[in-house]
């Protein structure tokens, strides 16, 4: 290694380290309002305990960075490799997903120790002199690990909301709402012409593999709503019998509505004082001006059909978002369902090894959401970002932007 290489690393490494510490600290801060018990429980197989999120994001750095870059690497605890593996078959065995809530050991305190140990070791690795090529690999992996941790930061909030919603005491995660919402302007339709558009990440900054390659799609002329569907609008759908009319629903969605006996969104509650919504700040009266959220694909699609509209494709959404044109609530409110099934872009390549399992293997029977939500960490959103969930998922901050 020559001196120049070391110099360059020395210039970048501190910035990476600072960013690393900020992102890592944010996870700890998100867990701070919660008790050890809150952090251990798992309310459904799709959600994970907060403690597990704290450990798994650490496992990611240990497994994919320390194991590769640390001299004389020794695991923090050999069993953690299995306990905190989420879905990477390439890494080996995994603790059963539905049993994460039974891991009362290691304790929350021990998981915080685990975080501190890995953090210290990772910062040491970052500070080591190494060849530029190797450092570039390291920096890329650290960047991926931090994006990964930010994804889990959003899940920490949605998972804890789900857990607390199962408790008849209806406890609040914290007092104040995440964001103050203002009254929306009247909904308007913005028009876009037909033509070949380019979608996918355009090469600057970080992106996940599923945002690549940037490629061409043809879109027919379309219109997009200027803002998201509000609670008040969604309430009109309910009151018009939306949950009782099969002609509004996809067949599989209707079977699901009947089987589960659904009559309203996940966190809506009909009380003596009218409609309320359970959120991170407890049970609150329904805000008719706020964007309707935590709504499944099947509900979003039925609402759109009832409203004489449809959901946008992801090409339409991304093309419009890149143009701006006065569209509101693209980011920071709630993720927006598209009608696009989650699939590989033409020429999509997965990484070698276990990291290739990050995104590609989930490309079946899920739908893409675009934008970002009130729970998305600052700096994590992108216009080319592809979030994805099954059509019945509804515990995330998911809402509806209409198209036609």
Closest approach, Cβ 349 to a second copy, in A, equals: 11
- Residue count at the site for a second copy (CB under 8 A)? 68
- Nearest partner of 103 among 121, 85, 117, judged by Cα: 85
Note whether 87 binds a second copy by CB under 8 A: yes
Beta-strand relationship, 398-399 and 335-341: parallel
Q: In the block, which residue shows the tokens 């099954």?
A: 390
Closer residue to a second copy in complex, CB, 40/235? 40
Q: In this chain, which stretch among 84-92, 134-142, 201-209, 379-387 interacts with a second copy, using CB under 8 A?
A: 84-92
Residue placing its CB nearer to a second copy in the complex, 142 or 355: 355
Verify cis geometry, omega within 30 degrees of 0, for the bond prior to 70. Answer: no
Q: Is 104 in the site for a second copy (CB under 8 A)?
A: yes
Q: Does 191 bind a second copy (CB under 8 A)?
A: no
Q: Smaller CB distance to a second copy: residue 69 or 303?
A: 303
Binding of a second copy at residue 107 (CB under 8 A)? yes
Q: Is 90 in the site for a second copy (CB under 8 A)?
A: yes
Please report whether residue 361 would count as binding a second copy according to CB under 8 A: yes
Residue 163 or 398 with smaller CB distance to a second copy = 163
Identify any residues that bridge with 215 across adjacent strands, giving them in sequence order.
Answer: 199
Stretch that binds a second copy, among 8-16, 143-151, 329-337, 344-352 (CB under 8 A): 344-352
What lies within 8 Å, CB to CB, of 34 at 6+ separation is 50, 160, 173
**Contact between 2 and a second copy per CB under 8 A:** no
CB of 67 to a second copy, least distance (A): 19
CA 347 to the chain's CA centroid: 24
Of the residues 13, 41, 125, 266, which one makes contact with a second copy according to CB under 8 A: 41
DSSP-derived pairing of the beta strands 274-279 and 387-389: unpaired
The answer to whether 196 contacts a second copy (rule: CB under 8 A) is yes
Residues 197-216 contacting a second copy, CB under 8 A: 215-216
Q: Can you give the length of the chain in residues?
A: 404
195: which strand partners?
219
Residue 261 beta carbon to a second copy: minimum distance, rounded to whole angstroms: 13
DSSP 200: S
**Three-state SS sequence of 78-97:** CCHHHHCCCCCHHHCCCCCH
For residue 259, state whether it binds a second copy (rule: CB under 8 A).
no
Q: Helix 50-61 vs helix 108-127: angle between axes, to the nearest 10 degrees?
A: 20
Q: Does 89 bind a second copy (CB under 8 A)?
A: yes
Long-range contacts at 239-243 (CB < 8 A, ≥ 24 apart):
240/306, 242/302, 242/303, 242/306
- Quick check: 320 and 192 in contact, CB under 8 A? yes
Task: Read off the DSSP letter of residue 378.
Answer: T
By CB under 8 A, which span of 3-11, 58-66, 217-225, 229-237 interacts with a second copy? Answer: 217-225
Determine the interface stretch with a second copy among 56-64, 327-335, 339-347, 381-389 (rule: CB under 8 A).
Answer: 339-347
Binding of a second copy at residue 344 (CB under 8 A)? yes
Q: Supply 96's token pair.
A: 């059963």
* Cα–Cα distance measured from residue 80 to residue 77, given in angstroms and rounded to the nearest whole number: 5
Question: 161-180: which residues touch a second copy (CB under 8 A)?
Answer: 163-164, 166-169, 171
Instruction: For a second copy, give the closer residue by CB, 79 or 240.
Output: 79
What is d(CA 318, CA 298) in angstroms, rounded to the nearest whole number?
22
Q: Per CB under 8 A, which of residues 300..319 are in contact with a second copy?
A: 301, 310
Beta bridge partners of 370: 336
Applying CB under 8 A, among 103, 292, 321, 374 the residue interacting with a second copy is 103
Residue selected from 2, 182, 183, 365 as contacting a second copy according to rule CB under 8 A: 365
Tally of CB atoms within 10 A around 123: 15
Burial class (CB in 10 A: 0-12, 13-18, 19+), 244: exposed
Minimum Å gap between C-beta 306 and a second copy is 14
Least distance between a second copy and beta carbon 163 (Å): 6
Contact 335, 375 (CB under 8 A): no
Q: Given the rule CB under 8 A, which residues bind a second copy? A: 35-41, 43, 51, 79, 82-83, 87, 89-90, 95, 99, 101-108, 163-164, 166-169, 171, 194, 196, 215-220, 222, 246-247, 249-254, 297-298, 301, 310, 339-341, 343-344, 346-347, 356-357, 361-365, 391
């Amino acid at each position: 290694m020559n001196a120049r290489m070391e110099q360059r690393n020395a210039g970048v490494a501190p910035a990476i380290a600072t960013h690393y510490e900020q992102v890592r600290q944010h996870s700890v801060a998100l867990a701070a309002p919660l008790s050890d018990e809150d952090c251990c429980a798992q309310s459904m197989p799709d959600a994970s305990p907060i403690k597990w999120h704290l450990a798994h994001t650490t496992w990611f750095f240990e497994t994919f960075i320390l194991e590769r870059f640390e001299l004389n690497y020794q695991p923090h605890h050999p069993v953690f490799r299995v306990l905190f593996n989420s879905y990477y078959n390439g890494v080996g065995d995994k603790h059963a997903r539905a049993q994460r809530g039974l891991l009362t050991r290691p304790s929350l305190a021990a998981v915080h120790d685990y975080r501190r140990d890995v953090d210290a070791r990772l910062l040491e690795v970052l500070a080591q002199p190494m060849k530029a090529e190797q450092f570039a690999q390291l920096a890329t992996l650290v960047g991926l690990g931090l994006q990964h941790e930010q994804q889990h930061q959003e899940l920490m909030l949605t998972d804890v909301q789900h857990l607390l919603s199962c408790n008849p005491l209806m406890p609040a995660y914290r007092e104040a709402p995440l964001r103050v919402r203002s009254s929306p302007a009247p909904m308007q339709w913005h028009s876009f012409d037909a033509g070949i558009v380019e979608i996918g990440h355009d090469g600057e900054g970080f992106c996940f593999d599923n945002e690549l390659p940037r490629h061409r799609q043809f879109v027919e002329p379309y219109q997009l709503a200027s803002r998201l569907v509000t609670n008040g609008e969604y309430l009109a759908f309910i009151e018009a019998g939306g949950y009782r009319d099969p002609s509004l629903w996809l067949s599989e969605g209707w079977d699901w509505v009947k089987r589960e006996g659904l009559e309203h969104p996940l966190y809506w509650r009909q009380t003596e004082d009218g409609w309320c919504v359970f959120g991170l700040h407890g049970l609150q009266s329904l805000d008719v001006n706020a964007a309707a959220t935590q709504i499944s694909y099947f509900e979003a699609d039925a609402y759109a059909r009832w409203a004489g509209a449809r959901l946008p494709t992801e090409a339409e959404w991304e093309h419009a978002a890149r143009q701006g044109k006065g569209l509101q609530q693209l980011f920071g409110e709630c993720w927006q369902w598209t009608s696009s099934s989650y699939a590989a872009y033409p020429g999509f390549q997965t990484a070698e090894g276990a990291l290739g399992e990050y995104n590609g293997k989930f490309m079946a029977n899920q739908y893409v959401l675009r934008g970002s939500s009130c729970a998305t960490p600052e700096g994590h959103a992108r216009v080319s970002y592809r979030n994805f969930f099954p059509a019945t998922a509804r515990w995330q901050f998911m809402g509806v932007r209409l198209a036609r």
